[in-house]
Chains A and B, each alone.
Chain A
């Protein structure tokens, strides 16, 4: 029982880790919280659903165009909404991403309706037998996909010029400008990447959760809690926080009623913010009150 719960928890945690990673990437790049991140997850899952229905591609192959589409979509959002607001205060950008989130939710509702839809995947019916335990194939797909993504990211940040530039911008915005790095271009790339990361999360979790307009928003809140748990602004923290939150939530859900399971991310968010606002791995920051 516990091992099965742990594996499911890791699978859920992988999704949280990916969304939290996307949130933190954008936060570090441009100092803004993207409230539309959850909707980027949802719309990517719907893209893959549309691709699966229109062109009969296998599930794993259909992921690729869906991920690319999601990246392009994120870039469009950045160009239209975020770029004109760069340099303004914190709240207008927050409100604007909130507006994007609502608009996407409305558009999804208009195009695909409100009834929950399954995202067909061949792995949901397959199980891996480990002694007395059964592990769902889709959960393994999620864990493997997220680990692959994280590996790609690690290499990207360490080995490529763009990755290094992104790290520099996160570290010191003005310094990056002085070094001749085009902050606008890097911000665009950051948005593409975070859209693609969110897409991987959406497409792999889709077959387990039914697709619904509200899925993304719940994920956003959980991912934010995960990022805060790990220390908001720290990439490693976001990933570890995501796995930790997923495991805690699933294990709690195994022994307690569903209503409590759903409130776990929020309870953890409040607890962390009240007891240790910098999270598990974050640096202490001195900020204006």
Chain B
């Protein structure tokens, strides 16, 4: 027993050392991609709890990210709050502001909720673009460089550790949350609302909780993004990003919290890979946006039709089948 514990500890420590050494071996650009992946991982984690586990069709995750990002931006610019406080606070800001959409959303389900959340995204984009005195409109909102105890945390490499710590905290808290009473109530909502209400789960209350948990993670992700890029415009929070997060979630597997990690990396790598190959096949003149839209749309269709449990589960099944065949042959 003791030995198993020790083994686990050794694995965790070596994994931590490995993760901490990564930015010293790869260049600045790759570190930037790692940071971006971390930011998306947190957003996908939130969406996974609401959509994958809670079973709500909510397409407004990027709008919640925008709320968090502008929340962090105004907290830092107006109140001069240090970044390590404003990032968690941005989660709470998104939580509170999300009530605007959550309260009408409580009466909705399925496709009505999907359409309302799409509308919420579009309206929020217009509000952020139009309210120039507060958000800077399409000219963008700048943030000061983050600093911790007098040391600047502005380079890609320094911010990598901020992202790493936040991602680990978020993953840890989400995993534990889903094991708690609240988490299991949210999960039961996704399975069958009627059965869970019969079992004594307060459906409305836990729906609000699921929305707020999702809003918190998306808000933290947005706040992290704002402090990392130090310049945010409505163009950072487009519909295509919403779609990409959805694709990332599907790739990682519906409701799989660990799958969010794979999803986050996928969301970051896909545009890069498309950008690399696009010039060879289609010429440099074509817009990255279009190719990205086409490919992510096709991925959604293929995954939904052929891999209903999500890409990760599909691969797992495939490996299981393969190993079964191997055993059978022997």
Contacts and interface: CB of A to CB of B under 8 A. Distances in A.
Interface stretch (B5-13, B23-31, B111-119): B111-119
17 contacts: A84-B305, A90-B110, A90-B111, A94-B110, A95-B246, A101-B297, A102-B243, A103-B297, A105-B297, A106-B289, A106-B291, A106-B292, A106-B293, A106-B294, A106-B297, A110-B282, A288-B194
Interface residues of B, number: 44
A80 B295 CA distance: 16
Given A96-B304, A99-B298, A106-B292, 5 more contacts: A106-B289, A109-B293, A266-B123, A287-B109, A289-B194
Contacts of A288: 109, 193-194
A4 interface: no
Interface in A58-102: 81, 84-85, 88, 90-92, 94-96, 98-102
A274 interface: yes
B197 interface: yes
A269 interface: yes
B286 A103 contact: no
Mostly, the B contact residues are helix
Contacts of A269: 115-116, 119
Contacts of B194: 288-289
Contacts of A289: 109, 193-194, 197, 203
Interface string B71-111: 00000000000000000000000000000000010011111
B116 A114 contact: no
A99 B110 contact: no
Interface in B119-161: 119, 122-123, 126, 130
Contacts of A273: 104, 107-108, 112, 116
B8 to A, nearest CB: 37
A94 B114 contact: yes
Interface in B281-319: 282, 286-287, 289-301, 304-305, 308
Contacts of A114: 287
A33 interface: yes
A221 interface: yes
A46 interface: no
Contacts of B289: 106, 109
A107 interface: yes
A263 interface: yes
Interface in A201-241: 221, 224, 228
A99 B300 contact: yes
Given A92-B308, A109-B289, A102 B297 contact: yes
A277 interface: yes
Contacts of B119: 221, 265-266, 269-270
B203 A99 contact: no
Contacts of B111: 33, 90, 94
Contacts of A228: 112
Contact of B290 (A91, A95, A110, A266): A110
Contacts of A90: 110-111
Interface in B230-263: 243, 246, 250
Mostly, the A contact residues are helix
Contact of B104 (A91, A259, A270): A270
B297 A99 contact: yes
Contact of A221 (B57, B118, B304, B305): B118
Contacts of A265: 119
A100 B301 contact: yes
Contacts of B59: 98
A262 interface: yes
- Of listed B111, B118, B130, B289, residue having the most chain A CB within 10 A: B111
Contacts of B118: 221
A94 B57 contact: yes
B193 A103 contact: no
Given A102-B243, A259-B126, A96 B294 contact: no
Nearest to A221: B119
Given A288-B194, A289-B194, A85 B304 contact: yes
A289 B300 CA distance: 27
B305 A81 contact: yes
A71 B112 CA distance: 27
Given A92-B308, A289-B109, A103 B294 contact: yes
B37 to A, nearest CB: 22
B294 A263 contact: no
A274 B107 CA distance: 7
A199 to B, nearest CB: 21
A215 to B, nearest CB: 14
A85 B308 CA distance: 10
Given A90-B110, A101-B297, A224 B115 contact: yes
A234 to B, nearest CB: 15
A221 B107 contact: no
Contact of A105 (B110, B115, B293, B298): B293
Nearest to A92: B304
A263 B291 contact: no
Nearest to B250: A95
A90 B109 CA distance: 11
Nearest to B308: A92
Nearest to A266: B119
A277 to B, nearest CB: 7
Contact of B126 (A33, A84, A99, A263): A263
The 8 closest A-B pairs by CB, nearest first: A106-B294, A103-B297, A99-B300, A106-B293, A109-B290, A102-B297, A33-B111, A99-B301
B291 A110 contact: yes
Interface string A246-289: 00000000000001001101100110011001000000000111
